[in-house]
Amino acid sequence: MSSLEFQRDGEIAIVHLARVAKRNALDDDTVRDIERIFSDPGEGVRAVVISARGEHFSAGLDLSSLTDTTPLDSLRRSQLWYRAFERIEFGNVPVVAALHGAVIGGGLEMAAAAHIRVADTTTYYALPEAQRGIFVGGGGSVRISRIIGPHRMMDLMFTGRIYGAEEGHTLGLSQYLVEAGGAEAKAIALAKQIATVPPLSTYGIMHAVPRNAEADPATGYVLEGLMAAMAAGDPVAQERIAAFLAGRAAKVK
């Protein structure tokens, strides 16, 4: 693998962007590797952390890909990015992104596909595409605008505005904000906790929650009810409920 590192730690896997000399700018090979890894993170993997080597999470699209490009080349690249980030969002396992430094352009589009984002205080967010005369092409106008709202996204794109870690956190770009250098450790701890959620509940959280947020309510209730019925009938749920009723499981305090 050219610019990604893959490590196993029990039931979790840790993927590092490791193209430090180019500030983890995403070239086609890297995005293909992301598609491949997240399509099949490995037998027994129950959660994945995506983190980055160096001072920055990612400088976004490798802008050298755009020299001598045609509209069709760019369209094909977007299709590749859509497939890769769809594998993060709607693959088999939850993904926790550990952010630090620059989370720019396509780097933010990739992070937006993760289920949980942990940022440290060095993190900053920007969408400089339009400043360069281009446009988001990795799903950002769908995913980022859902997180922060289309008007905030328009502001970022029109003005080149940068959000710091605190501001991004307030707007939902991260669910956790930790001290400088602490994002990866926190992401790993969260991934290990997430790995204990039984598979049917995990499936519902990953696949039903975001779909139902977009669905008409009547359809959403049917999907949710079916998901709840499947999960409750699973032996692992029966065991866990029995354990609580017998006083053997943790209380919610």
Kindly name the residue from 129, 166, 224, 239 that is annotated as catalytic: 129
Q: In angstroms, give the least distance from the CB of 82 to ligand 1HE.
A: 10
Q: In angstroms, give the least distance from the CB of 85 to ligand 1HE.
A: 10
Q: How far is the CA of 126 from the CAs of 95, 111, 140, in angstroms?
A: 22, 12, 12
Q: Is 102 in the site for ligand 1HE (CB under 6 A)?
A: yes
Q: Which is nearer to ligand 1HE, 131 or 193 (CB)?
A: 131
Q: Is 122 left (phi over 0), alpha (psi -120 to 50) or beta?
A: alpha
Catalytic, 129? Answer yes
Where b means 16+ CB within 10 Å and e means fewer, 29-61 reads ebbbbbbebbeebeeebbbbbbbbebebbbbbb
Name the pairing type of β-strands 124-126 and 163-164. Answer: antiparallel
Q: Is 22 in the site for ligand 1HE (CB under 6 A)?
A: yes
Residue with tokens 């594998």, as numbered in its chain: 87
Q: In angstroms, give the least distance from the CB of 137 to ligand 1HE.
A: 3
Q: In angstroms, give the least distance from the CB of 5 to ligand 1HE.
A: 18
**Residue whose C-alpha is closest to residue 18's, from 61, 63, 49, 53:** 53
**Do residues 166 and 120 lie in contact, with contact meaning Cβ atoms separated by under 8 Å?**
no
Kindly name the residue from 11, 43, 109, 239 that is annotated as catalytic: 109
Q: Which is nearer to ligand 1HE, 91 or 105 (CB)?
A: 105
Q: In angstroms, give the least distance from the CB of 58 to ligand 1HE.
A: 8
Q: Is 25 in the site for ligand 1HE (CB under 6 A)?
A: yes
Which residues within the stretch 183-202 sit at the binding site for ligand 1HE (CB under 6 A)?
none
The helix (H) or strand (E) run that includes residue 94 is none
List of residues 6+ apart from 143 with CB closer than 8 A: 85, 89, 109, 112, 113
Q: How many residues bind ligand 1HE (CB under 6 A)?
A: 22
- The Cα 152–Cα 158 span in angstroms is 10
Q: Which is nearer to ligand 1HE, 14 or 136 (CB)?
A: 136
**Residues facing 99 on adjacent strands:** 119
How buried is residue 193: exposed, middle or buried, by Cβ count under 10 Å (0-12/13-18/19+)? exposed
Binding mask 123-152 for ligand 1HE (x = CB under 6 A): -----xx--x-x-xxx--------------
Q: Which is nearer to ligand 1HE, 64 or 70 (CB)?
A: 64
State which of residues 41, 91, 105, 204 lies at the interface with ligand 1HE (CB under 6 A).
105
Residues designated as active site: 109, 129
Q: Given the rule CB under 6 A, which residues bind ligand 1HE?
A: 22-23, 25, 56, 59-64, 81, 102, 104-106, 128-129, 132, 134, 136-138
